[in-house]
Amino acid sequence: MNDFNTLFPNFLNQCTQLNGAMMPVACVLFVVGVVSSTVSGHRSASAYLRTVARTCGYIAVLASLMTWGNVAATGIDSTVKNTLQADPGGVYSQYQKALTLQKGTTGQSQSWWDLLDSQSIFEGLLSCVLWVLGWLASVIVFYAYLSQKFILYIGYGFAPLFIGFLAVRALHSVGVSYLLGFAGVLCWPLGWGAASIVTKGLMDFMTDQSFLAMGGVGGATGYALQNLIGLAMLGIWLIFSTIAAPIIIQKAISSGTQVGQALLGGAATAAGAAIASGAGSAAAFGSGGGIGGAAAGIAMGGASALVGAAESSATGSSYSPMGSLLSSLGHQRAASSRAPRAKDSSDLTGDKAAEEVLQKQK
């Protein structure tokens, strides 16, 4: 996929022009800050020197913010991808590697004939599901990176105004909040790095071969149940963490929120909402569409609740535009798939219905 600068080639230049247009405002705020600190009461010479030095520091931050920001964003992104090896879109390849490693340690044969047994077929189906989840996660990450660049570039444009606030005592807290929020956006990829620790743990759980060592039907059943539980947990965690983890990191930097507590609490809420909404939608769909409708209801209802919980954890608001959209689509599908009008119980052979048709034709 293309990056932000390729898709929007003139956006950074326009933000740079906005930055230049805001520079006079920053200069006025710096002067106001120095003058107000100078005339406020009887101050020592060292206090005046600290005021001047602090103002020079603000000017240095303003002049180098874009350069430092780009360097920090590149370094954080490289650390997350290369050192932490966090890639929400790579769950399929991670599962294959973990599975190969587990089979290698248990000494299982890897001949082509093994591809025909039930275990390998089951693992192949899991791989297909994980490939779909990885594709969805990669799409979310792509748009998250676009959103990050958009926020950062707009932040560069308005930086002179808020850095100028730092020099004025009454507005100093506003400028600090702005810089903390800016740093939080830079650290978005660290959220995926933290979430990848749990993802790798779930991968190890799914590929553990302990049940297969027991042998027999019980071992195979236990292995299948273990993988299904792990797949359900992984699907919920992957979608939720990919959406919510970056914003949780931003909140942690700006307000000191505990990252692990916010991630686990939000994931638990998302899981509960997905199960409840999926069950309700399954009942609505199943009444008109049978087993296939129920399955579609679980998927649509669970997806709407999961996305809604992720957006709520990310934004702090109970309203979820995407979750509401998925939910409305689900209700429309349920309304269109209602069961047809029941037949008359007293006309089991259909004779009355046939007579009515003949009468209408006459």
Task: For residue range 330-339, list pLDDT tens digits in order.
Answer: 545 444 444 4
Cβ atoms 285, 293 nearer than 8 A: yes
Cβ atoms 242, 140 nearer than 8 A: yes
pLDDT of residue 151: 92
Cβ atoms 161, 266 nearer than 8 A: no
The whole-angstrom separation of Cα 193 and Cα 187 is 10
The whole-angstrom separation of Cα 209 and Cα 91 is 19
The conformation of residue 345, written as its DSSP 8-state character, comes to T
Residues 6+ apart with CB under 8 A from 205: 226, 230
The whole-angstrom separation of Cα 286 and Cα 292 is 7
Which two three-digit tokens encode residue 252?
Answer: 């942690």
**pTM of the model as a whole:** 0.71
Reported as type and span, the H/E element at residue 205 is: helix 188-207
Task: For residue range 200-255, list pLDDT tens digits in order.
Answer: 888 888 888 777 777 666 777 888 888 888 888 888 888 888 888 888 888 888 88
What are the boundaries of each domain within the chain? Answer: 7-257, 258-338
Which two three-digit tokens encode residue 36?
Answer: 């107000």
Cβ atoms 305, 278 nearer than 8 A: yes
The conformation of residue 342, written as its DSSP 8-state character, comes to P
With tokens 């932000």, the residue in question is 4
The whole-angstrom separation of Cα 314 and Cα 187 is 14
Q: Give pLDDT < 50 ranges for the chain.
A: 106-116, 289-300, 318-319, 322, 325-326, 329, 331, 333-343
The whole-angstrom separation of Cα 218 and Cα 207 is 17
Rounded to the nearest 5 degrees, what angle is found at the Cα of 177, between the Cα atoms of 172 and 182? 125
The whole-angstrom separation of Cα 278 and Cα 345 is 33
pLDDT of residue 325: 46
According to DSSP H, which parts of 79-171 are helical?
Answer: 91-106, 118-165
The whole-angstrom separation of Cα 162 and Cα 178 is 7
Closest CA to 323 of 268, 260, 278, 261: 278
pLDDT of residue 291: 47
CA 255 to chain centre: 20
Q: Burial, 64: exposed, middle or buried (Cβ in 10 Å; 0-12, 13-18, 19+)?
A: exposed
